[in-house]
């Protein structure tokens, strides 16, 4: 089941891209785990994939993110076919269910991680980290470690880390 809604007139949508899945199919060791799926998600549109365990929701997200290689079909982000591109060249961010925060890093360092991997200037990193933490209401927790946060707070830190890199597409598992 799909649920769609569109976010309109938001200045924060600048630079976002839509997603097109064209007969996307995924197999593992010859077993089809995702039958051909065609779907278009417009820029600014919010889509929820809803279904029982094992129905392919996470597989779709992992294929879009580039963590799973499709057995067939195409994935377009904007007008670019990203089907064969590695994850780091797709211009997106994904927040997974377990948040994947680094336990040895403070909140601010977790949020800065992607920006540092992109080799962004220190001033820009500091600015984006502050902005992202403010957006998710976690600015006062910048110097804490993940184990000092509740599950909901950890989730917000993971979202801040994802939005700090200003992805064209944000995937939430």
pLDDT value of residue 52: 92
Tokens of 56: 């392919």
In a domain, residue 19? The reply is yes
pLDDT of residue 44: 85
Local structure of residue 21 (DSSP, 8 states): E
Over the range 2-12, which residues count as b (16 or more CB within 10 Å of their CB) and which as e?
eeeeeeeeeee
Residue 39 falls inside a structural domain:
yes
- What is the domain extent for residue 166? 107-172
- Structural domain contains residue 58: yes
Do 10 and 83 belong together in one domain?
yes
Q: Is residue 143 situated within a structural domain?
A: yes
Q: What is the CATH number of the domain that holds 15?
A: 3.40.50.300
Residues 63 and 135 in one domain: no
Q: Is pLDDT of 4 > 60?
A: no
Q: Is the pLDDT of residue 96 over 50?
A: yes
Looking at residue 139, its pLDDT comes to 98
pLDDT tens-digit map of 41-64 = 999 888 999 999 989 999 999 999
Residues 58 and 114 in one domain: no
Q: Into how many domains does the chain fold? A: 2
**Confidence band (pLDDT; 50, 70, 90) for 11?**
very low
pTM of this structure: 0.81
Identify the pLDDT of residue 15: 56
pLDDT band per the 50, 70, 90 thresholds, residue 98:
confident
Question: In angstroms, rounded to a whole number, what is the distance separating the alpha carbons of residues 62 and 21?
Answer: 13
**Residue 95 belongs to some domain of the structure:** no
What per-residue confidence (pLDDT) applies to 147?
97
- Residue 37: beta bridge partners? 24
Contacts of 153 (CB under 8 A, 6+ apart): 138, 141
Mean per-residue pLDDT, 17-22? 93
* pLDDT band for position 131 (cuts 50, 70, 90): very high
Q: Kindly state whether residue 151 falls inside one of the protein's structural domains.
A: yes
Query: Does 85 share its domain with 28?
Result: yes
Does residue 10 register a pLDDT over 70? no
One domain, residues 71 and 128: no
Identify whether residues 113 and 167 lie together within a single domain.
yes
Within-domain flag for 97: no
- Please check whether residues 114 and 77 belong to one and the same domain: no
* Mean pLDDT, all residues of the chain: 91
């Amino acid at each position: 089941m799909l649920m769609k809604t569109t976010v309109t007139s938001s200045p924060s949508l600048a630079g976002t891209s839509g997603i097109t899945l064209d007969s996307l199919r995924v197999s593992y060791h010859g077993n089809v785990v995702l039958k051909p799926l065609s779907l278009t998600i417009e820029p600014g549109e919010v889509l929820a994939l809803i279904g029982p365990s094992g129905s392919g929701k996470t597989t779709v997200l992992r294929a879009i993110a580039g963590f799973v290689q499709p057995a067939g079909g195409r994935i377009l982000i904007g007008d670019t076919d990203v089907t064969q591109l590695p994850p780091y060249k797709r211009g997106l961010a994904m927040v997974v269910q377990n948040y994947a925060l680094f336990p040895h890093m403070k909140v601010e360092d977790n949020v800065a991680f992607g920006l540092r991997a992109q080799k962004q200037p220190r001033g820009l990193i500091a600015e984006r980290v502050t902005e992202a933490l403010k957006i998710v209401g976690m600015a006062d927790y910048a110097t804490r470690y993940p184990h000092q946060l509740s599950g909901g707070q950890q989730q917000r830190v993971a979202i801040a880390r994802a939005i700090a890199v200003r992805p064209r597409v944000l995937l939430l598992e």
